[in-house]
Structure 1
Amino acid sequence: MQDFLNSTNFTSIFISLVVFKFLLETYLKIRNLKSIELNKNAIPERFVSVVTEEEYKKSIEYNVDRIRFQIFTALFGSVVLIVFTLGGLFNLLSEIIISTTSSDVFGAVLLGLLLLIVEEVISIPISIYSTFVIEERHGFNKTTPKTFVTDIFKGLLISATISSAIYATVIYIVVNLGDNWWIYAFGAVFSLQAIIFFLYPVLIMPLFNKFEPLDNEEFKKPIEKLLKKVDFKSKGLFVMNASLRSTHGNAFFTGFGKNKRIVFFDTLLKTITPDEMEAILGHELGHYKLGHIRKTLISSLVFGFIGFFILSEVLKSDNFFLDHGLESLTIYSKFLLFYLVAGSYTFFTRPFTSALSRKREFEADDFSFQYTNGEYMITGLLKLSKDNASNLTPDSLYSSYYYSHPPIAERVASIENKLK
């Protein structure tokens, strides 16, 4: 591998991949826009019963605005990535840290924090436009400027704490534990992530939202009956004040082991019936009972292990980092540059992970169908789609590449076939 790493012109490959990724994803987004345009004059048959012409028109306008903005942000992100790496800005930040400390561990923390701040500053205008222009224009935004700013500082504090722990741990292991450091680093990072995942629902999420026990008996009784039927034990049923930021609705699991919780957006409870909620929850329970969470964890372990091995090999090659614009070749600057550019070398895996995710979504629907009413599954899905102004006519190639969930029309068709 070292012969390949030391003899390859990674500058050309990197630029080509960044440009190709942007062009490919822009092509798919343009296809999606054309699909919306072709279907704008008639509500798709499956949605006629729940979506009015006015609501359909609004969903089209919302999705067109979002896709156009996504094209702009993708172009902006691609330019920033190339300028930041090959343009020498990351190298400049590295040199600033090198002049500040001779400690690799402390240097990793400082450079990581500096990088985090720069990324946040760059992303703030994008977040502002998305929240206060697009979401506001289409009636979804409930975020106040105060909440927006508070979220930024809370997020920065949490990200800084977690990333500093990970960077310091990995660099300490690289420096002190010999050639097989990547095995120990993988184990350490996985352990840290497991701790964070366990603590996330009880320590981190409450910093952003309020969680109250579900006390609406009309919803609570059928849900508890379903949980007993499928033999699922959780820490409790909670309602999250999602309406603090948005009118979008959702439900999800969080935590694992004794910390498993079922969370419903308060916005969701306002739009669906108890029977529809039971069907939606049946889908989420399906992910757990069918082992999807466990399988995802195992997959992440396998890919994480492979990723750390590749990192261990790449760190030995100065050529790789020189070709990406880094001249100050400290161990921590090389580590963080690898983190910055890795996505440009792995984006092609997205359609495969999306396809696997969609397969599991269909399986979870099948599970819910076995334990709840299929008719309520359909009406619940249709209402979710309506309330979130989902794209009702996505392009097939676009959805194959991007969608982790099958289009609503496909899920409804699958359930209807089972009802026949």
Structure 2
Amino acid sequence: MDKWLIKRTSTDAGGGSPNNASQIKRIKHVVLDSSVASDSTMTTTVTSNISHETNATTSSTSSVITIDESRETSSSTTITISHNSDDCSSTATSTLHIDTESDASTSTKQATTISETTGKRQRIFKESYIQFGFKCTVLNFEQRPQCVVCSEVLANESMKPTKLKRHLETKHPQLKNKDESYFKRLATKLKSQQVDFQKYTIVNQKALQASFEVSFLIAKTKKHHNIGETLILPAAMKMVSIMQGEKYANLLKTIPLSSDTVHRRINLLAADIKIQLIDRVKGSPYYAIQLDESTDVANVVQLLIFIRYRYENDICEDLLFCQGLEGRTTGEAIFNAVNTFFELHDIKWEYYVSVCTDGAAALTGFKTGFKAKVTEIAPHVGFVYCMIHRKALAAKHFQPDVNKVLEQVVTIINFIKARALNSRLFKIMS
């Protein structure tokens, strides 16, 4: 971009007042941005409106500016301004002699483009920059010069011959006298190294994906985590070796399937599934939960919460969370565990329509049970009970004779199913 310093001389024409021409607004600096070569001639016509004031009235002036630029040897330009006033009282002609100040170090102008992402002007790489030891690379959708010697990537603003040459002379002074073919060979070698690295990266990504897929299958089948390295990987390598050869079988060795790795993969998968499930629940207009507690082999009470919700015009049911309870499993303890999870993940009680529980007193109590705590914050929530517990609750209100018969039936069934021998003998008898 050149800066044009303007000198103006004006002459009157048409017998008008000389003050009209002198009232033309002085232009201090004109900045022209052009990509024409140094030996070209450019003629530009610009029409503008210039307002000026006379002693009597204020009138509008129309000016036609013609720029004749000849840049063959020197940067000298003449601008002729034809000045016509609305009152037709005068016609003034002004001649501007322009001297340019251009960068003597560059014979052609730097090509630029506008970035679509940042909106800033970006420089475009030229193949001639290889003479300074630089090739083009793309980083964040932006062309940048990369040194073929040290692989350093400079900023887009550094894509100037002077800055590239300074890098070569400062950091690689022993190579400043090398010819262009030398740097081209280095550029080809650097490109081949980058291609090999990209291939290695792609292989690692595929191995990582395979590790997650196998870990997911191990979790679904509830197998030990070490089965990946003790059975699955050796079996897969044996099959591929027979079908495709040892070359492809050795590629499977890059798949990480150790016990600790599978454990980490399963935890990551579980966390991702949990996030997806919570997002689905939040997007549902209503949902219901079912909860129950069960004691595991370590005598720890596990609280299980299942949730039913709507997703993509379908009713889905999933395990929301499982949490161990310490101490007594009172209704307040169960409510605190559920409510803490809901508050942590921003799940609202106002969208719940019902809660399904068993007939335990800790869950159905009207004063201190789970039902009482839920009713305090969400009185609209309905409570239902499991089918098997409905029968147990209904049996309490039977007549004594009917209840006695039901108790005898339960005792007989428990006697038969309590021992495997009894079950086999009664099966033969039937």
Q: Mark yes or no: TM-score above 0.5.
A: no
TM-score range, shorter chain: under 0.3
Q: Which has the higher strand share?
A: 2
TM-score by length of structure 2 reads 0.15
TM-score (norm 1): 0.15
1 or 2 for the larger relative contact order (CA 8 Å, sep ≥6)? 1
